[in-house]
């Protein structure tokens, strides 16, 4: 169900603490944790704790929460000291665009020379 925790969803399980993650920030409604396969020196994922299948679905259902996710992404960039040098926010949407986890998340990418590693996240 949209907006509820889904037992078979990787990021719902990370939010629930059933799968370990390296948390960098947490609020009542969001969690930020390091990507397991970093594509830049800073590579953090920010997710709403509630389940939405992608960013647009999140924004349609709960625009305030979508805004909170974006604001948290900016705070992660500040904490990670990439706000001044610059960073990318990426929302992959659909498997054809590389989305592999169907729980809304934004990639916060920065640091190094600005090049991505193996894949376009
Ligand atoms: P996407 O391809 O946009 O759906 O992004 C999913 C991201 O989740 C990928 O960059 C993966 O490296 C990352 N990922 C997969 N499993 C984990 C995990 N257990 N902990 C942290 N990040 C993960
Ligand atoms: Zn989920």
Element (H, E) at 42: strand 42-48
- Which residue's C-alpha comes closest to atom 16 of ligand 1? 36
Q: 10-120 maps to which CATH number?
A: 3.30.428.10
Per-residue pLDDT at 19 exceeds 90: yes
Distances from the Cα of 78 to the Cα of 27, 75, 84, 113, angstroms = 16, 5, 8, 18
- Say how many Å lie between the CA of residue 117 and the centre of ligand 2: 26
pLDDT band per the 50, 70, 90 thresholds, residue 115: confident
Q: Rounded to the nearest 5°, which phi and psi values hold at 24?
A: -115, -30
- Say how many Å lie between the CA of residue 98 and the centre of ligand 2: 17
pLDDT of residue 119: 62
Question: Tens of pLDDT along 78-107?
Answer: 999 999 999 999 999 999 999 999 999 999
Question: Tens of pLDDT along 26-38?
Answer: 999 999 999 999 9
- Token pair of 120 as six digits: 């376009």
């Amino acid at each position: 169900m949209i907006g509820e925790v889904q037992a078979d969803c990787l990021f719902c399980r990370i939010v629930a603490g059933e799968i370990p993650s390296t948390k960098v920030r947490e609020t009542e409604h969001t969690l930020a944790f390091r990507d397991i396969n970093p594509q830049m020196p800073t590579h953090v994922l920010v997710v709403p704790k509630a389940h939405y299948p992608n960013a647009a679905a999140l924004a349609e259902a709960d625009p305030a929460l979508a805004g909170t996710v974006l604001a948290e992404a900016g705070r992660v960039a500040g904490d990670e000291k990439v706000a001044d040098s610059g960073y990318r926010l990426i929302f992959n949407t659909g498997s054809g665009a590389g989305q592999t986890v169907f729980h809304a998340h934004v990639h916060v990418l920065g640091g190094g020379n600005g090049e991505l590693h193996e894949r376009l996240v």
